[in-house]
Amino acid sequence: MVAKPEKPIWMSQEDYDRQYGSFNEHVDAVEAKVTPPKPATEPVNNLQTDPGASNDETEVAKPVFKIQKRRHARFDHEERQKQLRAQKIREEQLKKHEIELAANRTINVDQIVRQHYNERTFIANRSRRNLSPIIKLRNFNNAIKYMLIDKYAKGGDVVLELGCGKGGDLRKYGAANISQFIGVDISNASIQEAHKRYQSMKNLSFQVILITGDCFGESLGVAVEPFPDCKFPCDLVSVQFCLHYAFETEEKARRALLNVSKSLKVGGHFFGTLPDSEFIRYKLNKFDKTVEKPSWGNSIYKVTFENNEYAKNDHEFPSPFGQMYTYWLEDAIDNVPEYVVPFETLRSLADEYGLELEMQMPFNKFFVQEIPHWIERFSPRMREGLQRSDGKYGVEGDEKEAASYFYTVFAFRKVRDYIE
């Protein structure tokens, strides 16, 4: 510290204190700033802060506390990861339990399906489609839907899509120049995402109405009643990759077809995509009674039946309804319960509701039939997405069985009104 100068004889004590007292305080503060901090050799717990010290003095200890904070951050991260792993295990156990309950008809499968697609919507928002491990399969499925929609949709049509999901087919219908699209889905998260997608599409010239509702478990009138702009009856009813959920029970299957028939005008078409029951039979026929839970698949997809009733019943389904299996598809479907749709049963029920079968064929056959008319119509990006390693178009490897063989397309035409 710098000593005060001797008081001049001509200066009063009051003036001396006023002048040199503030000077000495300033010097003390400057010395405190330039004094190097003592090395932090003592444990952190021994560091103490003088309540009267200035802010500049207390900053000396900050680097020590920052180091401790990083240590805690690493510990917290490891703890969070541990908790997330435990939570995932609990969720998987709960889902497995719910699937068992669904197989035993203890709970309705709708709640599992709704939860799955709500979660998938959140996951999809955080991922990039072009990095998906099944991007070729997605391109192939989209090509199938382009071909199917173009085959039946025409300018000015009103389209009802049951199980519309996130509105992935809106642009396809835009190419067909329809006048109105009514989309209904059980997942509210999917409907919200469909709204966002529609709002981002500035060049669609048709009206879009998106509704959260149960397409198969209840009358469609309950869901669409608050939307007076819906133009019923429609020219087309589309059901893409979801009709199998209706075959949980005969009641739901009938309700689904009644909703279709009542929504469709005479002469209109009901078309869609669903798992091919004949391919599923072909796979099940390879298992005998000793296999309790028949299962097959590859790196892309997996199908697992919860029982071996098919083999026990002389390789026939004991009932056309409720034949549940869980389906896993990489980056898309996470072991969700689905139901076999015996196509002959679907055809017979559809006939009761005034719907006459016009066309049904596996994806691979339909693709081969239609691709010559489409290869020049597809964008360069779409053509590139469909090109195989041998230069031809379609899917290959593990994706071939998961898409080309596992699914079928169908189309019915309404020939008469259904009288209840």
pLDDT (tens digit per residue) in 116-139: 556 655 444 444 555 688 999 999
- 213 has pLDDT over 70: yes
262 and 156, same structural domain? Answer: yes
How far apart are the C-alpha atoms of 238 and 161, rounded to whole Å? 5
> Is residue 39, in this structure, part of any structural domain at all?
no
Handedness of CA 282, 286, 288, 291 (dihedral sign): negative
Quote the pLDDT of residue 130.
57
| Mean pLDDT across 185-191 | 93
Classify residue 102: in a domain, yes or no: yes
Does pLDDT of 302 surpass 90? yes
Count of structural domains, the chain:
2
245 is in an annotated binding site: yes
14, part of any domain: no
Three-state SS across the chain?
Answer: CCCCCCCCCCCCHHHHHHHHHHHHHHHHHHHHHHCCCCCCCCCHHHCCCCCCCCHHHHHHHHHHHHHHHHHHHHHHHHHHHHHHHHHHHHHHHHHHHHHHHHHCCCCCCHHHHHHHHHHHHHHHHCCCHHHCCCHHHHHHHHHHHHHHHHHHCCCCCEEEEECCCCCCCHHHHHHCCCCEEEEEECCHHHHHHHHHHHHHCCCCCCEEEEEECCCCCCCHHHHHCCCCCCCCCEEEEEEECCHHHHHHCHHHHHHHHHHHHHHEEEEEEEEEEEECHHHHHHHHCCCCCCCCCCEEECCCEEEEECCCHHHHCCCCCCCCCCCEEEEEECCCEEEEEEECCCHHHHHHHHHHCCEEEEEEEEHHHHHHHHHHHHCCCCCHHHHHHHECCCCCECCCCHHHHHHHHCEEEEEEEECCCCCC
pLDDT score recorded for residue 13: 77
Query: Does pLDDT of 55 surpass 50?
Result: no
The confidence score (pLDDT) of residue 64 equals 52
The reply to whether 13 falls in a domain is no
Q: Which of 177, 14, 103 is nearest to 325 (CA)?
A: 103
Domain containing 155 — which CATH number? 3.40.50.150
Q: Are 265 and 235 in contact (CB under 8 A)?
A: yes
pLDDT of 197 strictly over 70 = yes
pLDDT greater than 80 at residue 301: yes
Spatial distance between the Cα atoms of 247 and 339, rounded to a whole number of angstroms: 6
Q: Are 249 and 348 in the same domain? A: yes
Range of the domain at 103: 78-107
Question: Is residue 20 situated within a structural domain?
Answer: no
% of the chain beyond a pLDDT of 70: 73
Residue 145 assigned to a binding site: yes
Predicted pLDDT at 333: 82
Average pLDDT of the residues in 82-93: 67
Place of tokens 């904070």: 69
214 is in an annotated binding site: yes
Q: Over range 370-398, report the average pLDDT.
A: 95
The pLDDT score that the predictor gives to residue 90 is 58
45 is in an annotated binding site: no
d(CA 255, CA 267): 21
157 and 205 inside one domain: yes
Do 95 and 244 lie in one domain? The reply is no
365 is in an annotated binding site: no
In single-letter form, the type of residue at position 167 comes to G
Beta-strand pair 158-162/234-240? parallel
Are 88 and 225 part of one and the same domain?
no
Burial, 242: exposed, middle or buried (Cβ in 10 Å; 0-12, 13-18, 19+)?
Answer: buried
Integer Cα distance of 418 and 203 in angstroms:
38
Q: Nearest 5°: phi and psi at 207?
A: -80, 140
* pLDDT score at 122: 47
Residue 391 domain-assigned (yes or no): yes
Q: Report if residue 179 sits inside a domain.
A: yes
**What is residue 297's predicted lDDT score, i.e. its pLDDT?**
97
Query: Same domain for 173 and 266?
Result: yes
Q: Are residues 263 and 402 in the same domain?
A: yes
pLDDT digit string, tens, across residues 239-267:
999 999 999 999 999 999 999 999 999 99
Same domain, 95 and 234: no
What are the backbone angles phi and psi of residue 169, rounded to the nearest 5°?
-100, 5
233 prior amide bond cis, ω within 30: yes
How high is the pLDDT of residue 194?
A: 95
Residue 263 maps to a domain: yes
Stronger pLDDT, 329 or 104, i.e. the higher one = 329
Whole-angstrom Cα distance, residue 414 to residue 283?
A: 33
Instruction: Please give the average per-residue pLDDT across 269-280, as a whole number.
Output: 98
Is residue 137 located within the same domain as residue 82? no
Amino acid at 270: F
Question: What band does 72 get if pLDDT is binned at 50, 70 and 90?
Answer: low
Do the annotations mark residue 353 as ligand-binding? no
Q: Quick check: 98 pLDDT over 60?
A: no
In this structure, the answer to whether residues 84 and 161 fall within a common structural domain is: no
Residue 74 has pLDDT above 90, yes or no: no
Whether 190 and 228 map to the same domain: the answer is: yes
Pair (145, 220) in one structural domain: yes
pLDDT recorded at residue 80: 74
